[in-house]
Each structure stands twice: as structure tokens, then as C-alpha cells.
């Protein structure tokens, strides 16, 4: 059985349906690529997928090691390149909840994020720049 079914609606818009749940996502081409920019672009979903995967694997690791990352927030910036038009870089900035994490917990979090399935599936030519803000300490990985 398929995971996703996608329909082209015309005018550079698609409708993707998650087969198991029926949840739908609309995509639009971005304004700078002949689109309306009224929804996520397909390349925006790549960036969102990376962030969601990182948080999910971090959550699993935190649960396994009996601590919480609830309230963690990510800001993701996608950088496009031309000739050919493609995602060249994804910058992921984590803001961890205002709590004290041990050095061991920080390492668990960082390893989980950078080894999530989506991060490992993205072509190595796409730069993934990741940093974490733990209270007032910024850590780049």
C-alpha cells in the first residue's frame, strides 16, 4: 500500500494525502518560481520534514533516557541555489526549554538530531547546519 497519494490540482498546486490517516497537505510553488506561495512549497516540506524528524528522534532518545525535551522549538531556514534550482543548505536552530540539561543529555540530544533518518537521507551536498541553544549556551554541531 502507498504511503502518500498526491494529486496535481493545476496552477502549480498539489494535494498530498497520507493514506493511513487521510490527512492532507497542499503545496504551492513559491513566488520566486512562478507559484502563488500560498502554502508550503515542496522544498519547504523537505526542511520541515528534517526538523520534525530531528525532534521525533530526540523525543525518543529523551524518553529512553528518562528526561524531557517538551517545549523544544526549531527555526529552520532553507537556502536555495540556482543552476540547477535545488536546496543547497538547511539551517536548523534549536531552542531548548529553560531547564538544566546534563552534558550527557546534551550529547544524547545532539546525536539524536543529527542522525535522524531524514538527516541521513539528505544528499551530502546539501549542507545541514545545526545549533542548539541551551539556556544561554549556543552549541554548534
- Residue-level pLDDT, tens digit, the chain, 141 residues: 999 999 999 999 999 999 999 999 999 999 999 999 999 999 999 999 999 999 999 999 999 999 999 999 999 999 999 999 999 999 999 999 999 999 999 999 999 999 999 999 999 999 999 999 999 899 999
| Structural domains counted in the chain | 2
Same-domain check for residues 75 and 11: no
Q: Cell 525535551 sits at which residue?
A: 69
Same-domain check for residues 78 and 115: yes
What is the pLDDT, as a whole number, of residue 136?
Answer: 87
Q: Cβ distance 106 to 132 under 8 Å? A: yes
Same-domain check for residues 22 and 77: no
Residues paired with residue 95 on neighbouring β-strands, in sequence order: 73, 133
Same-domain check for residues 91 and 25: no
Same-domain check for residues 111 and 51: yes
Same-domain check for residues 85 and 120: yes
Same-domain check for residues 103 and 76: yes
No. of helices (H) and no. of strands (E), the chain: 3, 7
Same-domain check for residues 69 and 16: no
Q: Cβ distance 140 to 130 under 8 Å? A: yes
Q: What CATH number should be reported for the domain holding residue 110?
A: 3.30.300.20
Same-domain check for residues 21 and 49: no
Same-domain check for residues 100 and 60: yes
Same-domain check for residues 15 and 48: no
**How many other C-beta atoms can be found within 10 angstroms of the C-beta atom of residue 85?**
11
Residue 85's domain comprises 42-140
- Predicted TM-score (pTM) of this structure: 0.95
Same-domain check for residues 68 and 94: yes
Amino acid at each position: 500500500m502507498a504511503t502518500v497519494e498526491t494529486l496535481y490540482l493545476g496552477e502549480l498546486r498539489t494535494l498530498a494525502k497520507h493514506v493511513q490517516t487521510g490527512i492532507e497537505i497542499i503545496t504551492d510553488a513559491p513566488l520566486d518560481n512562478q507559484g502563488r506561495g500560498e502554502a508550503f512549497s515542496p522544498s519547504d516540506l523537505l526542511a520541515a520534514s528534517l526538523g520534525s524528524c530531528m525532534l521525533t528522534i530526540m523525543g525518543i532518545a529523551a524518553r529512553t533516557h528518562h528526561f524531557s525535551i517538551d517545549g523544544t522549538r526549531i527555526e529552520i531556514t532553507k537556502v536555495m541555489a540556482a543552476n540547477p534550482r535545488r536546496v543547497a543548505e538547511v539551517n536548523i536552530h534549536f531552542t531548548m526549554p529553560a531547564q538544566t540539561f546534563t552534558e550527557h543529555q546534551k550529547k544524547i540530544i545532539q546525536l539524536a538530531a543529527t542522525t535522524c533518518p531524514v538527516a541521513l537521507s539528505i544528499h551530502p551536498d546539501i549542507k545541514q547546519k545545526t545549533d542548539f541553544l541551551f539556556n544561554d549556551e549556543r552549541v554548534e554541531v
